[in-house]
Amino acid sequence: MARDTALDSAALLCGDAVVLGDNLEVLRQLPDACVDLVYIDPPFNTGRTQAHTQLRTVRDAAGDRTGFGGQRYATERLATRAYLDRFDDYLAFLAPRLEEAHRVLAAHGSLYFHIDYREVHYCKVLLDGIFGRDCFLNEIIWAYDYGARATRKWPAKHDNILVYVKDPARYHFDTAEVERIPYMAPGLVGEEKAARGKLPTDTWWHTIVPTNGRERTGYPTQKPLGIVRRVVQASSKPGDLVLDFFAGSGTTGVAAAELGRRFLLIDNNPEALRVMEARFAADGIAFARHDMTGTTGAAAELLVAAGGA
């Protein structure tokens, strides 16, 4: 059975935790320099509702579609998950949250900020002002080849990940821990190098989460585990705390747990919490609900899963 208690930010930092609430208010309760790595994938401010609908087809002579061998099938809608991706002043929304991210980040820590082509230029200037231009480390391009093709412009098939460090002289980055990738022309580098593979560059070719793959949670805008795993491998150590305050489907937590890191995930969407509850059902994760109404001040209910920290 779950039990209720007051929110204890120190307790959230000791193990693995998921918090439902306003990320800005939760961040403000965390102590300085308590986080080793931040990865965030905030809403991209596309101006539209992001949604994912799960469907199932069953054989039905009066169905609405035709399948293999001429068989008729009916489509059943199982569930729809959605959130509104629109902000009147996107940078004003992000700025205080990024300032808090900078505050809670340890001196050796890094921030990975995942965005797309619509807002990346403005976000780069914002982050330069918060971290300092000398703390900008990389712009990673995640390239993929999936989805519709525009005919009036070059199809947009990439996301941008801006990487900032708290202290350019002290940040952690370990290429030895990064999973290597195959050479595009292995015959040109010799058998030994081909077998070892090469380190990724700042351009990452990686598929999206497959529509019918085992990794798929049904949460809109879910990012691939392989992308986040690479971030965690390079910029944190075993036992470190990884923070994602736009947690969505919880992929950052999955990557952190796989690699022996602790995680703190925050999101204000109840649908995200339901997805993460299912994803971490057997893992004894602490779940907290921050009171966004203000009726209990800075307190919150802490719902700790059986066996959790």
Please check whether residue 241 lies inside any domain of the structure.
yes
Q: What is the dihedral of CA 216, 218, 221, 227, to 10 degrees?
A: -20
Q: Which amino acid is at 261?
A: R
Q: Quick one: pLDDT at residue 283?
A: 73
Least confident of 114-128, 168-182, 224-238, 271-285: 271-285
Convert the pLDDT of each residue in 42-98 to its tens digit: 986 544 443 434 444 556 676 655 554 566 656 554 443 443 445 568 899 999 999
* Domain CATH number, residue 289: 3.40.50.150
Higher local confidence (pLDDT), 170 or 62: 170
Question: What are the two backbone dihedrals, phi and then psi, of residue 244, each rounded to the nearest 5 degrees?
Answer: -135, 110
**Is 300 a domain residue?**
yes
Give which of 190, 141, 134 is closest to 166, Cα–Cα.
134
> Is 125 part of a structural domain of the chain?
yes
Mean pLDDT (the chain) is 82
Q: What is the pLDDT of residue 304?
A: 32
Tally of domains within the chain: 1
Residue 264 lies in a domain: yes
- For residue 59, is it within any domain? no
Residue-level pLDDT at 216 = 80
Domain contains 278: yes
Q: What is the pLDDT of residues 178-226, one digit of tens each?
A: 999 999 999 999 999 999 999 999 999 998 887 677 888 778 778 999 9
- Asked if residue 133 belongs to a domain, the reply is yes
% of the chain surpassing 90 pLDDT: 60
Q: Where are the alpha helices (DSSP H) in 155-224?
A: 191-196
Question: 276 is written with which tokens?
Answer: 């993460």
Whether 163 maps to a domain, the answer reads: yes
Counting residues of the chain whose pLDDT is more than 70, the rounded percentage is 77
Better pLDDT: 4 or 203? 203
* Nearest in space to 7 (alpha carbons), one of 288, 286, 263, 268: 288
Q: How far is CA 98 from the centre of its chain?
A: 15
Instruction: Give the residue, 221 or 153, on which the prediction is more confident.
Output: 153
Q: Show the domain range for 22.
A: 9-45+87-304
| Exposed / middle / buried, residue 175 (Cβ in 10 Å: 0-12, 13-18, 19+) | exposed
